[in-house]
């Protein structure tokens, strides 16, 4: 029976996660819990470990030490075969979209379904693809190949694929990067819609603060392998830490400025745009 006074369920829990690549310490004793049905946005400078962090949640990377739990079940030490079942319950929208160029939109969407659930019935697969495409406003594109789609359309198809198995959790890695503000806002609205209509738990990595403020129940900033700030949009906006303020206001730090002033760094825009 549901107990209305009980705490909300923590669907994903990371406990004391450490991860280094050689001498590069990326995650330094990170502990975080994610509440069911909420949207958490992860921000932080490029290279600070956002992608590495969310890859631990779906166990595409394993921690050097620490534990990852999904519905209170430890998953970081599971065999690939057991993980398959867990991964059907989590959708992952990769940084850059990553559609299979040799497959049309329909085949891209049903790929995870064939792989994990082994549905073979053509009609069922077509129905499923149609429903998911309708959810992202891409009806009628089933036969198109990715090369013919715009950046925003590709992201929407990648999202349709990420939700193909009706996951409980969706991990988004920079879903709006490279999109103009209007197309970015379509993705924001889709993330909000999936939460509202399906009760999905979302974890979204982004550099886009407009998007973060619009969709987040909670924003976590990573910096130097640690959690630098963790709270709602207002809390982050008014955070006293200069590191947080500098990031959310998009100011270059001294390191960046030094790089720009370095000899040989007088790159002209005309060189880049060739």
Ligand X SMILES: Nc1ncnc2c1ncn2[C@@H]1O[C@H](COP(=O)(O)OP(=O)(O)OP(=O)(O)O)[C@@H](O)[C@H]1O
* List of residues contacting ligand X (CB under 6 A): 21, 24, 26, 44, 46-52, 95
Taking CB atoms, the residue at the shortest distance from Mg ion is 51
3-state secondary structure of 74: strand
Q: Determine the Cα–Cα distance for residues 143 and 88; give it in Å rounded to an integer.
A: 25
Q: Give yes or no for residue 206 binding Mg ion (CB under 5 A).
A: no
Instruction: Write down the least CB distance from residue 51 to Mg ion, Å.
Output: 3
176 contacts Mg ion (rule: CB under 5 A): no
SS3 for 148? helix
Q: Output 49 or 91, the one with its CB closest to ligand X.
A: 49
Stretch of 48-56, 131-139, 146-154, 211-219 lying at the interface with Mg ion (CB under 5 A): 48-56
100 binds, among Mg ion, ligand X, none (CB under 5 to 8 A by kind): none
DSSP-assigned beta bridge partners for residue 35: 10
Which one of Mg ion, ligand X, none is in contact with 219 (Cβ closer than 5 to 8 A by kind)? none
Q: How far is CA 259 from CA 217, 256, 263, in A?
A: 36, 5, 9
Smallest CA-to-CA distance from 70 within 81, 83, 51 is with 83
Contact 112, 164 (CB under 8 A): yes
Among residues 39, 51, 184, 211, the one that binds Mg ion under rule CB under 5 A: 51
Nearer to ligand X, 26 or 41 (CB): 26
**Choice between 42 and 99, CB closer to ligand X:** 42
C-beta of 26 vs 142, nearer to ligand X: 26
CB half-sphere exposure, 215, CA atoms < 13 A: 34
DSSP helix/strand/coil, 202: strand
Q: Please, which residue, 58 or 109, has the CB nearer to ligand X?
A: 58
Decide which of ligand X, Mg ion, none touches 165; Cβ closer than 5 to 8 Å per partner kind. none
CA–CA separation, 12 and 104 (whole Å): 33
Residues lying near Mg ion in the complex (CB under 5 A) are found at 51
């Amino acid at each position: 029976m549901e107990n209305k006074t009980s705490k909300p369920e923590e669907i994903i829990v990371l406990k004391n996660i450490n991860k280094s690549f050689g001498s590069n310490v990326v995650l330094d004793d990170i502990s975080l819990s994610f509440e069911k049905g909420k949207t958490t946005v992860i921000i932080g400078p490029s290279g600070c470990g956002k992608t590495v962090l969310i890859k631990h949640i779906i166990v595409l990377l394993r921690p050097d030490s620490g534990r990852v739990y999904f519905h209170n079940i430890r998953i970081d030490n599971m065999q690939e075969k057991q993980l398959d079942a867990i991964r059907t319950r989590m959708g992952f929208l990769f940084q850059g979209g990553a559609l299979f160029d040799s497959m049309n939109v329909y085949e891209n969407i049903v790929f995870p379904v064939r792989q994990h659930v082994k549905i073979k019935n053509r009609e069922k697969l077509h129905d499923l693809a149609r429903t998911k495409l309708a959810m992202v406003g891409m009806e009628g594109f089933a036969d198109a190949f990715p090369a013919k789609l715009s950046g925003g359309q590709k992201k929407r198809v990648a999202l349709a694929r990420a939700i193909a198995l009706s996951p409980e959790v969706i991990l988004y890695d920079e879903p709006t990067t490279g999109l103009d503000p209007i197309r970015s806002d379509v993705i924001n609205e889709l993330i909000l819609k999936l939460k509202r209509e399906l009760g999905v738990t979302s974890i979204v990595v982004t550099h886009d603060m407009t998007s973060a403020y619009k969709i987040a129940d909670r924003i976590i900033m990573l910096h130097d392998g640690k959690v630098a700030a963790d709270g709602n949009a207002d809390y982050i906006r008014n955070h006293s830490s200069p590191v947080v303020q500098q990031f959310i206001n998009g100011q270059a730090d001294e390191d960046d400025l030094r790089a720009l002033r370095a000899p040989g760094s007088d790159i002209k825009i005309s060189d880049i745009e060739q």
